A and B are shown apart, each in its own frame.
Chain A
Amino acid sequence: MRVVYLDNNATTPVDPRVLEAMLPYYREHFGNAASRNHRYGWIAEEAVDKAREQVAKVIGASNKEIIWTSGATEGNNTAILGVARMYVEKGKHIVTCKIEHKAVIDPCKFLETQGYDVTWLDPDQTGRVSVNQVRQAIREDTILVSLMFANNEIGTIHPIPEIGSLCKEKGVLFHTDATQAFGKIPIDVEAMGIDLLTMSAHKIYGPKGAGAVYVRRRKPRVRLQPIIYGGGHERGIRSGTLNVPGVVGCGAAAEIALQEMPTESVRIAGLRDRLWAGLNEQLSDITMNGHPEHRLPNTLNVSFLYIEGESLMMGISDIAVSSGSACTSASLEPSYVLKGLGLGEDLAHSSIRFSLGRFTTQEDIDYTIDQVVEAVNHLREMSPLYEMAQAGVDLSTVEWQRH
């Protein structure tokens, strides 16, 4: 029985080439990169420096601007809390968006409890925030704008270069959580006016527990108050012995991603479009969530009207995907990202996110189309909402007996 993995935005398998690169640093080259006085340390340090270069190259940065972290959640905390505390004399206002990842939302919410003021921008129905919205939100006391490069649930890409340019004009630091965009689409921190950027290895076929944050050193020199103390590693920004194998894996994954990006992004976008076309051909009443053009090549978020996401996932149980349905979340809340698009909660409950990847094949896609169509039809037969809609009832006018 085939098993298909279409949840690459959640995590990716480690590329065999990345694993090969990492293994020596678990075996014979196990040194601490901070051991300055013997070969074990020097070999580890060399590997770490090489990885810094590999990551920097993906975004057009200098290797001196790469700080290693345990992943994007730590990276976002480092950037946001770091800037907030360092620049507190300059101001206490932050601009961000309602559909950011929790790793951005939660630090910002925490800062609100510490006397900071946060403006939460509303995206439009495709998930995009406009430059004008950011312009209107920026004040005299704004110290940071944090907007993700691409959204993890719907794949929508913000107008990053324009926002970066605006922030330069206003003298406000610009941070972008690029976890989903890094290595998938071109990023240039100079051209795009980015001052801080978060990335994660396990989204680009690298190991979990490793990532990096880019911290600009020139024009302007960004300073951060650390969130982890203890020895002053990583320019004092992130103390702690480096996870050398993880760092090596992160670097190797970044290098492969950069090399393969031109061909891979085209191939994967083609498969994604094939998936959408296949579903659209055979199913009525389905909608795509997110921006049709400004989006990641691998992400397809679809709402299948009149059926619920978790039951659909059960119906295609050998295909791994995720859903914005309340039933699939530990909190029983539907996806706040889909809710934030203002399209109605029932669309969230009926949504499935397909996120394709390097190892996705055309057979995978064709199989998925067949399975999804079969399951959707089966569920619609079972659905009182579909029955009512077919009978011409306008579901928005029905008075439901909630409990």
Chain B
Amino acid sequence: MAYSDKVVDHYQHPRNMGSMNQSAPDVGTGIVGAPECGDVMKLQIQVDNDNRIIDAKFKTFGCGSAIASSSLATEWVKGRTLDQALQIRNTEIVNELALPPVKIHCSVLAEDAVRAAIADVKKKRERAEADTEAVGTK
């Protein structure tokens, strides 16, 4: 089982590797996986007022396929709205990276990371709205 060229490419030239300010109100952070499983992905998105993802960053502890899956995910979410990003399926990642069956779970984790980041920013916004409403009713 040799590594696919695309997977190697993402390892050597990761897209959007890095971190955003986790406490910023327009940033959603998804951290999925666990060290004892051998896979941890942190995926972050920055969202504008039109619910569009204007930037994304990732950091991953995991095998080449896991790194590539999360790197690819940050490429794909950029420019999408939150709802569009929710449509990204792990099977698309599998196809794009030519992942063998034994590595499919890496793509699933990347999909989970995207969803977790989206859920995080949505939760922040709901809380912010609730706060402003509360202020408004005073």
Contacts and interface: CB of A to CB of B under 8 A. Distances in A.
Interface string A296-326: 0000000000111111001101000000011
Q: Which of A308, A315, A387 has the most CB of B within 10 A?
A: A308
A184 interface: no
B33 A400 contact: yes
Contact of B40 (A328, A330, A344, A385): A385
Contacts of B135: none
Interface in B1-56: 3, 7-8, 11, 14, 17, 19, 31-42
A345 B36 contact: yes
B98 interface: no
Nearest to A381: B17
Given A308-B62, A308-B63, A381-B17, 6 more contacts: A308-B66, A311-B64, A317-B3, A327-B62, A345-B35, A403-B109
Contacts of B102: 330, 332
Contacts of B33: 400-403
Contact of A384 (B11, B41, B63, B112): B41
A310 B11 CA distance: 12
A401 B38 contact: no
Interface of A: 306-311, 314-315, 317, 325-328, 330, 332, 334, 344-346, 349, 381-387, 395, 400-403
B35 A314 contact: no
Contacts of B62: 308, 311, 327
A322 to B, nearest CB: 14
Contacts of A349: 35-36, 38
Contacts of B82: none
A68 B62 CA distance: 43
Interface of B: 3, 7-8, 11, 14, 17, 19, 31-42, 59-67, 102, 108-109, 112, 116
A265 B51 CA distance: 65
4 tightest CB-CB pairs across the interface, nearest first?
A: A400-B34, A327-B63, A310-B63, A384-B42
A331 to B, nearest CB: 10
Contacts of B8: 314, 317
A327 B106 CA distance: 10
A314 B3 contact: yes
B60 A383 contact: yes
Q: A328, A381, A384: which has the most chain B beta carbons within 10 Å?
A: A384
A233 to B, nearest CB: 39
Given A314-B3, A382-B67, A403-B112, A344 B36 contact: yes
A349 B37 CA distance: 8
Contacts of A400: 31, 33-35, 40
Contacts of B108: 403
Contacts of A346: 35-36, 38
